[in-house]
Amino acid sequence: MSVSQAQLDRAIAQARVRESHGYFDRVRAGDQRAASLFVRLVAHDLNPHGFTSEYGWLSKTPGETNVDGYAEDAICGNADSTDWANVVDLVNGAGASGASIGGSVKQRRFENRWVTPQPLSDADLAYLLEGSHPVPQPPQYPSYEELGGDEGGKKITRVLEHDYRWAMRPGLDGECGAWMRRTDYDFLAGLVKPVEASIVKHRDEWLYELGLIRVEHGMMANGYICKICGASVGVEKGKPIPLIPHAGDCMTKPITA
């Protein structure tokens, strides 16, 4: 199976991320223990669930250069005992001043094994960061396409337009931007996904404002009924109003139906 270019690139990229956070400073200064802890940290970042088809720690024998029984500069790409070209050397010049992020694939020795990656202890993490100076990183944003692109926004306006027509409004008005913003914010912020779920979360709010939810007041509880599909929900007075379980076609039901 060996290590693919994509898998190698992921390891290098994650090593760069940890480097930018200050975890490589002691490695760069020539600390051998820090080098081994660093590559083990990156391996766990890449494979926190311990999948055997992914990165793990690389064991070393007592007769080899090692730290705690693990490689000082490398990780293992998979647990396949028949795959010999699955070692990734992540540190160039480990144990010497001027060490740098590496990224070359090497042959594994027979006695070396893939080991399930584990989280580093707080003490080990503190050891790596002692005296470090992390470089502030700019926030990373998903691309417009990853956030749904134009179609994501259109899904919201289509439902809004449908409901405004049911309310006999001439068209979308200056108030509808609030509903767009609320719905889009929860989706873009990752609070609710996909965008359809965010629409469901906020739709009752604008249906109520548009007069499309009828309220039937009772002695102990109130009923909230959708005028479009007839779905309803009852709730005790003073309690939060749950979402109305609308019919499946409620967002597309024609007015003539």
Q: Are 191 and 197 in contact (CB under 8 A)?
A: no
With a CB cutoff of 8 Å and minimum separation 6, the contacts of 62 are 69
Return the pLDDT at 190.
84
The domain spans of the chain are: 5-129, 149-236
pTM of the full predicted structure? 0.54
With a CB cutoff of 8 Å and minimum separation 6, the contacts of 68 are 36
Residue 89, beta-bridge partner list:
74, 104
Return the pLDDT at 244.
95
Return the pLDDT at 135.
58
Return the pLDDT at 118.
96
- The pLDDT averaged over each successive group of 10 residues in the chain (257 residues) is 87 94 94 97 95 95 95 96 94 95 94 96 92 66 82 93 95 92 89 91 96 94 96 92 94 86
* 120-123 LR contacts (CB < 8 Å, sep 24+): 120/37, 120/40, 120/41, 120/44
| Sign of the torsion angle spanned by Cα atoms 193, 196, 200, 201 | positive
Laid out side by side, the sheet with 70-76 consists of 100-106, 87-92, 70-76, 56-59, 114-115
Q: CA 256 to CA 43: how far, in whole Å?
A: 60
The angle subtended at Cα 226 by Cα 223 and Cα 231, nearest 5°, is 75
The angle subtended at Cα 99 by Cα 65 and Cα 25, nearest 5°, is 105
Return the pLDDT at 63.
92
Return the pLDDT at 192.
87
User: Which residue in 196, 207, 192 sits closest to 153, CA to CA?
Assistant: 196
Reported in sequence order, the residue ranges of the chain that DSSP labels E, i.e. its strands, are 56-59, 70-76, 87-92, 100-106, 114-115, 213-217, 221-226, 232-236
Phi, psi for residue 199 in degrees, rounded to 5: -60, -45
